Amino acid sequence: MIDKIFGEASGIFNKLTLMDIVISIIYIIIGLIFFTNPSLSNNIVSIFTGIMLILNGILSIYEFIKRGTIDLYNNNLIFGIILILIGIGALIFGKVLAIILGIYFIASGLQRINYGIFLKKFNESSWLLILAVGIIFMILGVTAFFTNGNGIVSVSGICLLGYGLINLVDVILLRRRSKYFIA
């Protein structure tokens, strides 16, 4: 019985982290495109960003539903709803992309800080790195507020590339230390 429960939890965890890896790679690709082609229209950037935010929000809600009994995922419902609303805002109000991205990176930074504090409770060695990543995301978010014109596309590309890379490293670390998270 316990082996069956462990196997199911392990399978769910592996699916969630694999989805997170795919999303990180998509962020990296989109970030590179935006950074290397800053003349892309703000509307196209908003559409891609809105879709990614909505997908990331859905993933956070899915994580909450599947793993909500674990303290690490308690806030994912709130983060998921916020990300979906920001994604819808990006689709509707493309002209305010910098503000939307700033809010998104700040929310994502808060989520990482929450994870870092959670991991510290278990004396997990990566807690400080994840906390630092959260702070970096928050700095990226504040930076996004102070851009305009084609700068929005360039800064968005850098932010998305950075987010994708940092999130990819974060997920790889999480998978390596998954024995702490699997019920």
Residue 85, domain extent: 2-95+150-180
The pLDDT, as a whole number, for residue 13 is 78
Number of domains in the chain: 1
Does the residue 165 lie in any domain?
Answer: yes
Q: Which pTM value belongs to this model? A: 0.52
With a cut of 50, which residues of the chain have pLDDT below it? 183
Does the residue 46 lie in any domain?
Answer: yes
The pLDDT, as a whole number, for residue 40 is 64
Percent residues over pLDDT 90 in the chain: 9
The pLDDT, as a whole number, for residue 84 is 93
The pLDDT, as a whole number, for residue 101 is 73
The pLDDT, as a whole number, for residue 139 is 86
The pLDDT, as a whole number, for residue 9 is 66
How far is residue 98's CA from residue 84's CA, in Å, rounded to a whole number? Answer: 17
Name the residue among 44, 170, 31 with its Cα closest to residue 109.
Answer: 170
Does the residue 175 lie in any domain?
Answer: yes
